[in-house]
Amino acid sequence: MADRKIRINFVSRICRTLVYVCFCALVSETGSAQAASSTAPVPAPAVTAESPITLDQLRKLLDELHEVEQTRAITQEEAERQRATLPPWFPKSVWDAVEQKMGSVDIAKVELPIYQRYLTSETGDGLILWFNGPLGQQLAEQVMSRRVAIAETGAQGSKAAQTYIDGATQSDKGIASARLNQLGPTDRERAIKAVQALTNSWKTMSDDLAKLYDEYVNNLVQTELAKHSQELAAAQQAYMRKSSSQPARHQ
């Protein structure tokens, strides 16, 4: 039944724009700081089976970026907008179940295979380091509103990330530079190497993340709707019978 094939690409596009736009903010905002650093550029290490970013590291990184809470808030908001567009016969309880499923997605677990394809454990530690402490949190919070605004335009993947980079402000760059200058020599080198590794992979990684999450969320919704297929069919048929039994209005 066509009405039951409800796709919510708009939700997954908005949600997954957040993480890779933030990462690309680092690529842009640390540019001047790296130029001023005496540390020579170091090629990003190849991710091996023994050293990819771990699930615990990814959870920590997403937590520092406030990505999980922001993604869930946007998911809820957009799902409620979608609720208003559902056909009049659609049972409220079914969409409630869909929203619950969407809100309980373990983002880190879903996306870990993509991150492990591009980021090492060492890179994960370096990125986490960036967002530790008051300045790191200020950096994460300051860019959030613009990242959400870009996400809401429907831009995806590397296009969304490039939009952020093109619009990076001096204030953003200043906070990133100040955070880098807070670090000691060893941590500073670790942080710079992490951003360099990210720079080498952000375009492909961001597009892969967008595709993965879009497919995951839509499959999740369709699976949940399939569980309620009989209820949906009965609700639609009852609505059609009721509509057909009502006398036509005379002009």
Contact yes or no for 182/135 (Cβ under 8 A)? yes
Single-letter code of the amino acid located at 30: T
Per-residue pLDDT of the chain (251 residues), as tens digits, is 334 344 444 444 444 444 444 555 555 555 444 434 444 444 445 555 569 999 999 999 988 888 778 777 777 888 888 898 999 999 999 999 999 998 888 989 999 999 999 999 999 999 999 888 898 888 777 766 666 677 677 666 667 667 766 776 777 678 888 888 899 999 989 988 888 888 788 778 888 888 888 888 888 988 999 999 999 999 999 999 988 877 655 54
Measured between alpha carbons, how far is 27 from 33 in angstroms, rounded to an integer? 11
pLDDT the model gives residue 90: 93
pLDDT the model gives residue 60: 94
pLDDT the model gives residue 228: 94
* pTM for this predicted structure: 0.75
CA angle 11, 148, 212 (to 5 degrees): 40
Q: Which residues contact 173 (CB under 8 A, 6 or more apart)?
A: 28, 29, 31, 32, 33
pLDDT the model gives residue 143: 65
Determine how many CB atoms are found less than 10 A away from the CB of residue 64. 20
Q: What is the token pair recorded at 194?
A: 């992490």
Determine how many CB atoms are found less than 10 A away from the CB of residue 92. 9
Measured between alpha carbons, how far is 157 from 31 in angstroms, rounded to an integer? 21
